[in-house]
Structure formats: C-alpha cells, structure tokens
Amino acid sequence: MIILGLDPGLASTGFGLIRFKDNNPTLLKCGYIKTFQKDHISARISQIYADLDSLLKETIPDIIAVEDIFSLVRYPKAGILLGVVLGAIYLIASNNKVELIEITPKEVKNALIGYGNADKYQIKKMIQHSLNINRIDSFHAADALAVALTAYYRMDNTERVI
C-alpha cells in the first residue's frame, strides 16, 4: 500500500509518499511544492494542482491523506486561501479516483507522539526514527509524512511500526 500524505499550504504544500509492506514503512519520496507570493493566486493554485497531479500519475498512491485545516478565526483570509488549496487537492483526488481522508493535526500528534500538543521538532524526530532516515529538509515534508503514517495507523492495524 502506498499513502500520499499532504500538508496543504499556499506558499508551500508538503508531500510525503510512504510504501507500507508487512507493517514496515519505506520512504518513497518527499518534498514540497513552493509557490511565489508575487504570483497571482490563480497561478499559485494552478501550480499546486499541476505538480500534485503529476505526482499522483507518477506514483499512483492507494490513498491520499491530507492534514485537515483548523479554525483560523483570527486569520480568516488565510483560512479561505487554505480552503482553496484544499479544494484543488480534493479535485485532484476525485479526478484520479484516489480515496482521500482528512487527518487533524491533533490526531497526528497523538498517533506519533502520544501527546496532542507535541511540537514540530518532536514530530520530525519521530518521522526520522520511524522511516530510518537521517534528515528531512523541510517541516512541510515532515508534516506530510506524519499525516501519511497517521493514516496508516488509523486503518485498524494491530501492530505499530514504531
């Protein structure tokens, strides 16, 4: 099974692909799609869409797991823009006929650290440990990998990989 984890963002959308075989996770690919603030929002969304669509066609994941947005009461415009990014992700999943599941940040933290208020450094360390890799260059990629691992744990697996 291959799970594509996504950490959506307008400036940077993290992605992480993990293959699970016999309860062992293997990193296939991770990184992020960076857009530029000087570009119009339509160009930025188009870039995210095109890059993710290419990634899906290249890797053919079984499931897409996306980090669900949290309430952005103090920053409503940011919430709206993030919703636009999520809309593009939902459209990609639908057009490619790939199941999409949403995972909250708190669920990720609880699944990987056992503590709902864990910080980004703890998550990144656990991802490196779980996937047996020395470093991850981006917090966005680390978050996306964390979402993919959490999606796997959610699937009624009796054995944990960490």
Place of tokens 């960076």: 34
Residue 102: pLDDT over 70:
yes
> Which of 27, 137, 45 is closest to 84 using CA atoms?
45
Residues 6+ away with beta carbon under 8 Å from 113:
122, 123, 126
Residue 48: pLDDT over 50:
yes
Predicted structure pTM score: 0.91
Q: What is the CATH number of domain 2-154?
A: 3.30.420.10
- Helical residues (DSSP H) of 60-158, grouped into ranges: 76-95, 105-112, 120-131, 139-154
What is the pLDDT, as a whole number, of residue 58? 96
CA–CA separation, 62 vs 42, rounded Å? Answer: 28
Mean pLDDT confidence for 78-94:
92
Give the start-to-end residue ranges of the domains of the chain: 2-154
69-78, 108-117, 119-128, 136-145: the lowest-pLDDT one: 69-78
The DSSP element (H or E) to which 27 belongs, if any, is: strand 24-34
DSSP code at position 136: -
Band of the pLDDT at 55, cuts 50, 70, 90? very high
